[in-house]
Structure 1
Amino acid sequence: MVASSTVPSVASIFVPESLRKKTKTQEQAREQRVAAAAEKKSAAQKKRELIAKRAEAYETEYRAAEREQIDLARKARAEGNFYVAEEPKLIFVVRIRGINNIPPKARKIMQLLRLLQINNGVFVKFNKATKEMLQVVEPYVTYGVPNRKAVRDLIYKRGFGKINKQRISLADNSMIEANLGKYSILSVEDLIHEIYTVGPNFKQAANFIWPFKLSSPLGGFRERKFTHFIEGGDAGKRDEHINGLLKQMV
């Protein structure tokens, strides 16, 4: 008669204390990673919802402002008057001339405006100080009032941020939040809104955007490039006509 062999049960197998501690530590680390991933996913979802709500609110604000302008113009016509809109707060400036024969004062202003190359463009808050600066450099630049579409196209199609003195594409909202989050600017739509409405943090937002590198306009500038716009050239103030030029340069 053959004696049956005794097989130790799983419970009776000796497990070293160090291995039990290691297994427990690994399980805790795994649980923490899973919890952190879930928390990160939830936070990202909430942020996307916040950005979407803000974008919707901006759109409502834009439509209300446009409707107000239309209503004011109609009211003025009904009363036999002319409606004169408020002076614009935002302008877009494009450099159209090189460095040759530029006097020192104009050259310094171009540096302050960050217009270092031909076809560079920047958003500028239009006030008394910038108006005086533009009068000095008017023969070397053209500028006007960008509409909302022009602002969006510029930032979405040609927008780059200045991050650690590097020119970085604005392809990810996280980069905008990392640099402008303390000003409650979390996304591209927030950035567009701050620029277009010339918000309280306009200076920080505008300085964050690297000067736009635009293409030469389709067909080139006019033959009298250095003549003022109102005289048939390209230089100087062109008000809302800047939008047609930007459409060709973006």
Structure 2
Amino acid sequence: MTTTRTKTPVPTPASAPAPSWAGERAGAADWAALAAELDAYGCAPTPQLLTPAECQDLIALYEDAGRFRTTVDMARHRFGSGEYRYFTHELPEPVAALRAALYPHLVGIARDWAERLGRPAPWPDSLDEWLEMCHRAGQDRSAQILLRYGAGDWNALHRDVFGEMLFPMQVVIGLNAYGTDYTGGEFLLVEQRPRAQSRGTTTALAQGHGLVFTTRDRPVRSKRGWSAGAARHGVSTVRSGRRHALGLVFHDAA
């Protein structure tokens, strides 16, 4: 059955600067070193962005269906096994705060990547202005994700590309304690190197810590200068326990 969705413009409210706690935590990263690690591996960890108590508060929200616009059963769609939910635009305060605090640090890296690849760099200084651009292009649905995996669950390699308006990096934050609350379930990033075999990188997410990673592709050095190295991400099989993660995406969905 095909369902036609009537698009209603969603206004992006003018927001205050990110709360000081979020700005301080995002600003604690060595962003020059983080950018260099992104260049080397396609992903890079951040300092702690959420406390264990804040992580537990976000996990508890998973049971509140009113917080989310839709729920996706990964097995049903052959995306893997597990479940995730997309928040509505009424984001929990920590989600909105961290997204706003991280964007100013990431946008400079995004522009540098675009310059190296000879691409346009449409991203303004303001996250609100960028989201307004997404909405005018028909990408008007929240793409912020809360994911839940149990033993045996996994996430197939994929890209979170929801339309033409794309921000080249996103952030995932681990909400459970790796090795204590769950085992397995490492974050996977697989890159297609220009004229070479693919390369995989695995990362165990520490509770409350983020990982910045490329959304679709990024500049990699080649004999011809800079080439676009395509990437996909996923999650390895959870061996025991339950794993939750928060996905921060800097563009909205069509």
- TM score, norm. by length of structure 1: 0.26
Q: Which has the higher strand share?
A: 2
Which protein has the larger Cα radius of gyration, Structure 1 or Structure 2? 1
Bigger relative contact order (CA 8 A; separation at least 6)? 2
Larger helix share, 1 or 2: 1
